[in-house]
Amino acid sequence: MKIAFHGAARAVTGSKHLIKLEDNTQILLDCGMFQGMGTATDKLNGYFGFKPTEVTMMILSHAHIDHCGLLPRLVAEGFSGPIYATPGTMDLARILLLDSAKIHEQDAEYSNANRNIDQPEEMPLYTEEDVIKTMGQFKIVEYGQSFQINDNISLLLTDAGHVVGSAAVHLTITEFGKQTQLTFSGDIGRYTDLLLRSPQTFPQADYIIMESTYGDSLHKDQEPIEELLLDVIRDTCLRKKGKVIIPAFSVGRTQELLFALNALELNGKLPDLNYYVDSPLAMQATQVLKNHPDVYNNGTKQLLKIDDDIFAFKGLRFIESAQESMALNQDNRPCVIISSSGMAEGGRVRHHIRNNIESDKNTILLVGYCDPHSLGGQLMAGNKTVDIFREHLQVLADVKTIKSMSAHGDYEDLLHFLSCQDPKANKQIFLVHGEYEVQQRFADHLREKGFKHIAIPSYHQEYEI
């Protein structure tokens, strides 16, 4: 058996891990898009490192684009096998991939309309038709139910607590009478998540492919998230009469923000302002989360007994059309704007940042991981100037962060996830989904817990196990 790492190898995005068996069965774990990698992003997304036609089956841990975003491309290039996922992941993947396809088609159309006559026509990475075909290949696997794929492979999915539908993947593979237990963590959530239940325990694994995004960090803010949000809103909107711009991914982070703002209203603390969610996708994702209440933690379930909509409050408005979005930039009244993407690499939030970054009365609030190359990463690093839409802009607005809002577990959460495992029975941990320096520090934490065999694969590196 071999494992090759074709994405999220010494990098955070682009999840693709390929298991090759002796009988030529190939199992692909995730098929994610690279994001926020600067000028290299398009090139990375244009090359798999393996032949899609040779992949037998695919297992999707969850629906974030850096884990599922190249699935339609995989199908377009000849993959015809089943895609195993939870119901929540399938529902989210449908809306996210259709939105992604629309963006790719629009980008290609724009590029072709402005190309020189001697330049080749640009084709979209994939189309809505590719997405529809891809969704037809999904096969549902429920949490906690052992699913026999064939005589030699069984699959178990356990809740990873990261986003609705997110799962850790557990494979039992039999070759030549020998059983191998292999776990892929996917992305691991928080054990103190605002909304979702904690990651579940799982059977002993021989080999673990483990995410490590925050492998050297602790998400410990001194105050609850609601109070941190309230402080920013009061200082910016009430005192300085400015706007709070929050780049937030449409899935997961936006719902957490709405939940926290709703909690402020329930406690009589929410300032009387306009709160905009400028993302049609976020509205759809919020409905998907509402449709899967089984993933809520006990506190959220109790809250639902007194509040039938935990994502709604006075002053909230979802923005759908581009015209409405543009109109927000002409309105100088204090407000809060939540808009995608979370790294501020694309989407409507870049327009809001461009229009508000050169005023010291405004605040840009970053609430999750940002790749260092992304606009969000540059702001988080304290850059005094940034380029947006080819404009060189001064950063005069306040830039603040709430690290505890990350949907990724910190290193204590990651170690907690592994606490159900006997380090002496583990043959190898492969660290993925992290920056190399972070992974090296997390490897030290693992060794302190007794895990002796730790590898940090490089891009396209293959291991025999």
Residues pairing with 19 in the sheet: 3, 27
| Mutual angle of helices 87-113 and 128-135, in 10-degree steps | 160
pLDDT at site 223: 64
Long-range contacts of residues 12-15, Cβ cutoff 8 Å, at least 24 apart: 12/66, 12/213, 12/369, 12/371, 12/433, 12/434, 12/435, 13/37, 13/66, 13/371, 13/433, 14/44, 14/45, 14/66, 15/61, 15/66, 15/67, 15/432, 15/433
Is the pLDDT reported for residue 301 higher than 90?
Answer: yes
CA distance 348 to 52: 33
CA distance 31 to 123: 20
Helix (H) or strand (E) holding 287: helix 280-290
Sign of the CA dihedral with 274 first, then 280, 285, and 287 last: positive
Preceding peptide of 166 cis, ω within 30°? no
Residue 82 and residue 139 in contact, taking contact as beta carbons nearer than 8 Å: yes
pLDDT digit string, tens, across residues 257-297:
999 999 999 999 999 999 999 999 999 999 999 999 999 99
* Residue-range domain boundaries for the chain: 2-217+407-464, 225-405
Is the pLDDT reported for residue 121 higher than 60?
Answer: yes
| Mutual angle of helices 87-113 and 280-290, in 10-degree steps | 170
Residue 181 and residue 172 in contact, taking contact as beta carbons nearer than 8 Å: yes
| Mutual angle of helices 253-266 and 280-290, in 10-degree steps | 70
Q: Is 406 exposed, middle or buried (0-12, 13-18, 19+ CB in 10 A)?
A: buried
How does the average pLDDT of the chain come out, rounded? 94
CA distance 205 to 33: 27
Give the DSSP letter of residue 448. H
Count how many Cα atoms sit within 13 Å of the Cα of residue 279 in the half-sphere of its side chain.
32
CA dist list (Å): 328 to 258, 279, 349, 428: 19, 13, 11, 52
CA distance 169 to 462: 20
Residue 340 and residue 279 in contact, taking contact as beta carbons nearer than 8 Å: yes
Is 251 or 172 the better-scoring residue by pLDDT? Answer: 172
pLDDT digit string, tens, across residues 332-391:
999 999 998 888 987 899 999 999 999 999 999 999 878 888 999 999 999 999 999 889
The lowest-confidence range among 81-85, 169-173, 338-342 is 338-342
CA distance 9 to 4: 10
The phi, psi pair for 306, rounded to 5°, reads -115, -10
The letter for the amino acid at 2 is K
Q: How confident is the model at residue 117 (pLDDT cuts 50, 70, 90)?
A: confident
pLDDT at site 360: 97
CATH number of the domain located at residue range(s) 225-405 in this protein: 3.40.50.10890
pLDDT at site 144: 97
pLDDT at site 12: 93
Is the pLDDT reported for residue 248 higher than 90?
Answer: yes
| Segment 66-73 mean pLDDT | 98
pLDDT at site 222: 54
Q: Where would I find the beta strands (DSSP E) of 194-334?
A: 207-211, 243-247, 274-278, 316-319
pLDDT at site 200: 98
Which fold is adopted by the domain 2-217+407-464?
Answer: Metallo-beta-lactamase; Chain A (3.60.15)
Model-level pTM? 0.90
Give the DSSP letter of residue 130. H
CA distance 142 to 373: 37
Written as one string, the DSSP assignment of 399-430 is: EEE-GGG-SS-BHHHHHHHGGGS-GGG--EEE
Residue 314 and residue 270 in contact, taking contact as beta carbons nearer than 8 Å: yes
| Segment 429-455 mean pLDDT | 97
